[in-house]
Chains A and B, each alone.
Chain A
Amino acid sequence: GDSVTQMEGPVTLSEEAFLTINCTYTATGYPSLFWYVQYPGEGLQLLLKATKADDKGSNKGFEATYRKETTSFHLEKGSVQVSDSAVYFCPGKRSYIPTFGRGTSLIVHP
């Protein structure tokens, strides 16, 4: 399977701070990698994805680069807003079963 390890939360930041949420993966090949976001009271939404090594996914000011040398897909944003407060998921797979875990909760204060 393609397992991932995502940093535990919560992450608490002030508005306009820099955000990094770590995600590292273990895979036999180079699977597609994804970040999902879940806003309060909603289901998950695909935030961004990268389908091959060295790809950079980006959306809504968030970026993540698929780095095969460090097996990482860290989520970054240069200046967070209160509206970015949500739970972020970097899913993996274990024996074809999707694994999302608890995600990383981000709390942004004004």
Chain B
Amino acid sequence: KAGVTQTPRYLIKTRGQQVTLSCSPISGHRSVSWYQQTPGQGLQFLFEYFSETQRNKGNFPGRFSGRQFSNSRSEMNVSTLELGDSALYLCASSLTPFDNEQFFGPGTRLTVL
């Protein structure tokens, strides 16, 4: 069974631009969560989607948004990029929402210049 895939793996943007990251969950998993990982803050929860609805949201500004499609694939978008948005963005899928047993993708490394 294929694992969680994330595209692209690496991305370089400049301040003020916007970016869209994509995540394909494990087949059959309907819940997708997004996390931001930085050395200073560690792994922080962004949001979780289940059945195309956002079920849970972390403490991030409105510049961070996401969506989920009917096939459970998910995208997250960051608008008006700031230097501090440079991070590893991880996507995780699970069978149900609020499930701590999650399966993570390899991440997208975003660098903002």
Contacts and interface: CB of A to CB of B under 8 A. Distances in A.
Interface of A: 31-32, 34, 36, 42-46, 49, 89, 91, 93, 96-103
Given A97-B45, A99-B45, A101-B42, A34 B35 contact: no
Given A34-B100, A100-B42, 17 more contacts: A34-B101, A42-B107, A43-B4, A43-B92, A43-B104, A46-B102, A46-B103, A96-B56, A97-B58, A98-B102, A99-B45, A100-B35, A101-B42, A101-B43, A102-B39, A102-B41, A103-B42
* Chain B residues touching A, range: 20 to 34
Contacts, number: 52
Which 5 interchain pairs have the tightest Cβ spacing?
Answer: A102-B42, A43-B104, A100-B43, A44-B104, A101-B42
| Interface SS of A by simple majority | strand
Interface of B: 4, 33, 35, 39, 41-45, 56, 58, 90, 92, 98, 100-107
Contact of A98 (B41, B45, B103, B106): B45
A101 B36 CA distance: 11
Contact of B100 (A98, A101, A102, A103): A98
B24 to A, nearest CB: 13
Contacts of A36: 104
Nearest to B35: A100
21 contacts: A31-B100, A32-B101, A42-B106, A43-B105, A44-B43, A45-B104, A46-B101, A46-B103, A93-B98, A93-B100, A97-B45, A98-B100, A99-B45, A100-B35, A100-B42, A100-B43, A100-B45, A101-B42, A101-B43, A102-B41, A102-B43
Given A44-B104, A96-B56, A89 B98 contact: no
